[in-house]
Structure 1
Amino acid sequence: MAKKDYTQLADTIIKDVGGPSNIKSLIHCISRLRFYLKDEQAADDDGLKNTAGVIDVIHASGQYQVVIGTEVSHVYDAVVEKLGPEFVEESDSDQSETQDTAAGPQKGNLVTRGFGNLIGFITGSMSPVIGVIAASGIIKGLLALLSMPQLGTLLKPTSAVYLSINAMADSAFYFLPILVGFAAAKKLKSDPIVAAVIGGVLAYPQIVDWGQKFKTMFEIGGFHFQFLNYTYSIFPMILAAWLAKLLGDWLNDHLPSYLQMIFTPLITVLVVSAITLVITGPIIQGFANGLADLINWLVKASGWIGGLVIGGFYQILVIFGLHWGVVPLVAQQISASGESALNAIISTTMVSQGAAVLAVALKTKKEDRKTLGIAAAISAFCGVTEPAIYGVNLRYRRVFISGLMGSAVGGLITGLMHGSMFGFTGSLIGFSSFFDTKNSGDLTSFYAFLISSAAALIVSFAVTWFWGYNDQMEMGKKVEKKKRPGTANA
C-alpha cells in the first residue's frame, strides 16, 4: 500500500494559518495541531474548515487548534518538514506579541493567558506519553484477566511469563518521571536529556526504596525531610523540567562558552534534583495525591449525582480542548491509589459519542456521511472522540446532545455501581482497564463497565436514530467556538 502524501495538506494549513511568519510555535496532541500564532485573526478559519483532511478549527487555551483526527502525527511531520528547522529557531527568538492589544493589559487577560500557557504546557508534556501509558494499561488489564480465578488462572502471577510481561507494561509507569521530563523539556525547547536525567534521579532504585520507607534525609528544628516515592508521578517532574529550563538558560548566559558543555548540565542536575527531592517534590506530590484522592472520594461519595453531572458534561470540555487539564489528574489518581472513579465515568462519554455518530452512519443513505461516521465511531470506541464530535456530532447539534444524554445515563450507572478504572485507556477498547490488577477476582468495576457502556451506547444510538438525525437535515457549518478572552474583535 502506497504511503499517503500529506504535502498538499501541510501547504494549505501553513498558508491558512497566516504563513510561517505568523507562526510562533507548533505542537500536537492525539488529534490536533496546536499552533501558537502571533495574530489569530490573520488565519483563515473558513478556508481551513473546508479543507479535506481538516475536521475543525478551534480558538482555545491561547492556541489555534486545527483538528485533524487520528492522522495528526503524519500531518504534523509534514508541516514541520515544510517549515524546516530554521522556523523553530526563529520562533524561539521571536519576542513579538500577539495582536491582543485592543483589550489592554487587564488582569483577566493575564489570567486567561496564564491559564492557556499552563494548559499548553501540560498538553505538550503529556500528549507524547499518553500512547505508551494507554498501551501499558491495556497490557496490565489483560494480565489481570488471564490471572482471574474465574477463568482458571490461565497465567500465574508468580510465573516468569507473567512477571516479564508485567515488566513491559509497568516500565512506562515506573519510569514516568523520565518520560514526562523528556517531553516537557522538548515542549520548553530546553535540553531533554538533562530533564530525563533528573527524572532518572526520581526513579532511581535506591531513591524509590527510601521513598517507600519514608526514610529521613535530614532534620531541621524537629522537622523531618523525608524521601518520597516518585515512580508513577507527573507534576513534580513537570515543575522540575521548568526549573531546569530556567537554570540552564541562566547558566548559558553567565558561563563562558568553553565551560557550558560540562558545567551547565552538572549544575542543573545537582541543583534541580536537590530542590525537587527536598522541597518542591514533597509539596507537589503531597498536594497532587491529596487532590487525586479527594476527587476519587467525591466521585464515589456523590454516587449517581456525580456520575450524572460528569457524564453529561465532560465532552463539552473536549470541545474547547480543556480536557487536557483532567488527564494528569486521572494519571495521578491511578498512580496514587491504583484506581480512578473519574476515568470510569469519562469512559462512558467516549462510548456515547461513538454510538451517536454510529447511528448517523447506519441511518444515512449519503455515502460521504456514512464513511465519515463509521471512521469516527471506530475512533471514539478506541478512545478518541474528536473526529466524531467535530466531523459529525456538533454539526448536527441534536446528535451531540443525544451523545450527552447517553453519557449522562452511563455516568449515572457507573456512579450507582461505584465503578472504577485501574488503567488509563477508556471506551470500549479499554475494557481490560476495568479489571482490578490487585484483586483479579473482584469484577465489580468490570460489571459496571459492561452495564454502563451498554446503556450509554443504547441510549445515545436510540435518541440519535429517532430524534437526533435524519437525512433531510442540512449539515451545519462547523461550530464556531468562543474566542479567547482578550482577543480583539474582528
Structure 2
Amino acid sequence: MAQKDYSQLAQAIVAGVGGKENIDSLIHCITRLRFYLKDESKAKTEEIKALDGVINVQKASGQYQVVIGNQVTAVYDAVIAEIGTEFADEDETRPSRGGNNPPTTTHQQHLTPWGRVKEAFNQLIGVITGAMSPIVGILAAGGILKGVLAMLTMPQLGALLSAKSEAYIVLSAMGDSVFYFLPMLVGFTAAKKLKGDPVLTAVIGGVLVHPSLVALNGKSLLEIGSLNFPMVNYTYSIFPMILAAWLVAKLTKWVKSWLPGYLQIIFTPLIVIAVVSAITLYITGPAIIWLSNGLAFGIQFLLLKSGWLSGLLIGGLYQVLVIFGLHWGILPIIANDVAATGHSYLNAILSTTMVAQGAAVLAVAIKTRKTALKELSFAGAISAFCGVTEPAIYGVNLKFRRVFIAGLLGSAAGGFVSGLFHGNMFGFAGSWIGFASFLDPKHPADLSNLWIFIASSAVATIVPFIVTLVWGYNDQMTAGEAMAKPQKPGTAK
C-alpha cells in the first residue's frame, strides 16, 4: 500500500507554528513533533489543533509539541522536507540562520532563581527526550524478543528451544544487542541533542562496553594509596553516557579553539577520546553508577514496602504525566532499574496504565454509533494495547474527560493489584503486547509475574471498560476542553 502524502499537513503545521523563520529545530518521539520555537506566541495553536491529522498540541519541557499519533515519523519527514534537513540537526540549525542557542543571555538576565531552575529542568528533560526517543521502540522490541525466548525455553511448553542451541544464541544476540550496546546508542543520540559529535561520542560508549573492560567488572583499574578506582558494568546504562556526551561537546569545542586546523582531524578525536574515556572510567562513571544503583534499590525498597499504596497512586496518576509529555523523564529511571537489578517493579505498575486507557477508549468504540468516533476509538485502543496511549488520550479520552477519568480509575485499580502482589517486569514493552516482558529470562519456569500481569491487566481492562460504558460516555455528550456534558435530546451530532 502506498504511503499517504502528508505534504499538505506539513505545510499547514509549519504555517501554524509561525513559519520556517520561527523554528529553531525539530525532533520527534513516538507520537509527537517536538518543535523548539523562537517565539511560541506566534504559533496558532487552535488552528493547528483543528487540522485533520493532528490530535492535540501541548507546551512542555521548553518544547511546542504537536501530537500526531502513530504516523508521526511520516509527518516528521514531510515537515523536514518542507523546511529543510538542517532543521533536524541542532548543530546546524541556529548557526545557519545566525541564531543563538536558547536561552539567550538577555533571556537569562530576566529569569528569577526559580525560573533558572525550571529552565535547567526543561533543558534536562529535553536532553533525555532527545537521547531516548529515537531508541525507545528498539528497547521495547528487544525486551519482547527476550521474553519470547524465555517462553520458548519454558519447561511448561516442552522447552521448544534449548538455551545452548545456535538458534537461541543468535536470537538472544538480536534481543540483547540494544541493551548491551546501549551506551553507544545513547551517546550518539545525546550528542546530537547536545550539539556534539555523535560518532565521537559513540566511540566513548564503545570504550565503556569493550569486552576486555567488561571482563574486568568489579576489579580495580587503578589504586592510589587508599583510593580505589573500580571497573563497573556499563551495559544497560544511560546516565554516564549523557554526562560523557556533554563532556565530549564541551571538550571538542575547546580543543578546536586552540588546535591548528591541519592537526584537528586526527588530534581532536585523539585528545577527546583519551580524556573523556579516562574521566568516565575513573571518576564520573563509577560515581554515577553508584548513585544510579542507590536510586534503583531505593525505588525498589519503597515500592516493596508501600506495596498496594504505591501501585494505587502511581497507577492512578502516571498518565497525567503523559498529557504534558513529562513521562520521558521516567524512562531513564526504568532503564536504570533494569540495569541495576535486572527488573523493574515500577514498570510493571506503569504497564497497567496503558491497558486502562486502551480499555476506556475501547468502551467508547463499542458504545458509540458515530462512525468517525468509532474508527478513531478502535485505533486508539489498539495503539494503547500496544503500549502507546497518546492517540487514545488526545483523540478521544481527554475530549470526553469522563473517559480519561475512567482510565485513571482503571489504572489505579490495576496498579493496586500489581503493587499488592509485587508484580515485576524484566523488559520495557508494556500493556497487553508486553506480556513476554513479565517472564524472567533467567528463570523461564517461574510464571508468578506472568500471572500477576494477567490479573492486574485484567482489572485494568474491566474496571475502566465498565465505568466508561455506565458513566463515562454516551452519544449525547459534547466533545470539548471541559468535562463532557450531556446535550439536550435530539442535539447529538
TM-score normalised by length of structure 1: 0.95
Q: SS state of the match for residue 36, structure 2?
A: strand
Partner of residue 208, structure 1:
214
CA–CA distance in 1 between the matches of 2:247 and 2:278? 12
Q: Which amino acid aligns with 1:468?
A: G
What pairs up with 1:198-347 in 2 under 5 angstroms?
198-211=204-217, 214-347=218-351
CA–CA distance in 2 between the matches of 1:325 and 1:183? 16
CA–CA distance in 1 between the matches of 2:202 and 2:101? 31
CA–CA distance in 2 between the matches of 1:102 and 1:16? 27
CA–CA distance in 2 between the matches of 1:258 and 1:75? 42
Q: Does 1:91 align with 2:97?
A: no
Partner of residue 378, structure 1:
382
What pairs up with 1:439-458 in 2 under 5 angstroms?
439-458=443-462
> How far apart are residue 98 of structure 1 and its match?
6.8
Q: Does 1:188 align with 2:191?
A: no
Partner of residue 6, structure 1:
6
CA–CA distance in 2 between the matches of 1:325 and 1:477? 26
Partner of residue 46, structure 1:
46
Partner of residue 178, structure 1:
184
CA–CA distance in 2 between the matches of 1:97 and 1:180? 23
Structure showing greater relative contact order (alpha-carbon pairs closer than 8 Å, 6 or more residues apart): 1
Question: Greater CA deviation, 92-101 or 350-359?
Answer: 92-101
Q: SS state of the match for residue 135, structure 2?
A: helix
> How far apart are residue 350 of structure 1 and its match?
0.1
Given that 2:146 and 2:172 are in contact with CA atoms closer than 8 Å, whether structure 1 keeps it comes out as yes
Q: SS state of the match for residue 25, structure 1?
A: strand
Q: For residues 282 and 463 of structure 1, do their structure 2 counterparts lie closer, same or farther at Cα, with a shift above 3 Å needed?
A: same
Q: Which amino acid aligns with 1:373?
A: S
> How far apart are residue 76 of structure 1 and its match?
1.0
CA–CA distance in 1 between the matches of 2:164 and 2:305? 36
Q: Which amino acid aligns with 2:80?
A: V
Partner of residue 487, structure 2:
none
> How far apart are residue 189 of structure 1 and its match?
2.8
Question: Greater CA deviation, 315-324 or 102-111?
Answer: 102-111
Deviations 1:319-357 (A, max 9, x none): 111111100110111111110000000000000000001
Q: For residues 154 and 327 of structure 1, do their structure 2 counterparts lie closer, same or farther at Cα, with a shift above 3 Å needed?
A: same
CA–CA distance in 1 between the matches of 2:228 and 2:14? 55
Q: How many residues align?
A: 477
Q: SS state of the match for residue 4, structure 2?
A: coil
Partner of residue 160, structure 1:
166
> How far apart are residue 221 of structure 1 and its match?
2.7
Where does structure 1 lack aligned partners over 5 or more consecutive residues? 480-490
Partner of residue 82, structure 1:
82
> How far apart are residue 103 of structure 1 and its match?
10
Deviations 1:197-223 (A, max 9, x none): 100000100110102xx1111212311
Partner of residue 130, structure 1:
136
Q: SS state of the match for residue 95, structure 1?
A: coil
Deviations 1:394-433 (A, max 9, x none): 1111000000000000000001111100111000000000
Question: Greater CA deviation, 346-355 or 62-71?
Answer: 62-71
CA–CA distance in 1 between the matches of 2:186 and 2:101? 29
Where does structure 2 lack aligned partners over 5 or more consecutive residues? 484-493
Given that 1:383 and 1:427 are in contact with CA atoms closer than 8 Å, whether structure 2 keeps it comes out as yes
CA–CA distance in 1 between the matches of 2:352 and 2:180? 28
Given that 2:25 and 2:93 are in contact with CA atoms closer than 8 Å, whether structure 1 keeps it comes out as no
Partner of residue 34, structure 2:
34
CA RMSD of the aligned region, Å? 1.6
Given that 1:38 and 1:96 are in contact with CA atoms closer than 8 Å, whether structure 2 keeps it comes out as no
Partner of residue 489, structure 2:
none
**Taking every aligned residue pair, what percent have the same amino acid on both sides?**
59
Question: Greater CA deviation, 18-27 or 424-433?
Answer: 18-27
CA–CA distance in 1 between the matches of 2:71 and 2:86? 25
CA–CA distance in 2 between the matches of 1:231 and 1:96? 32
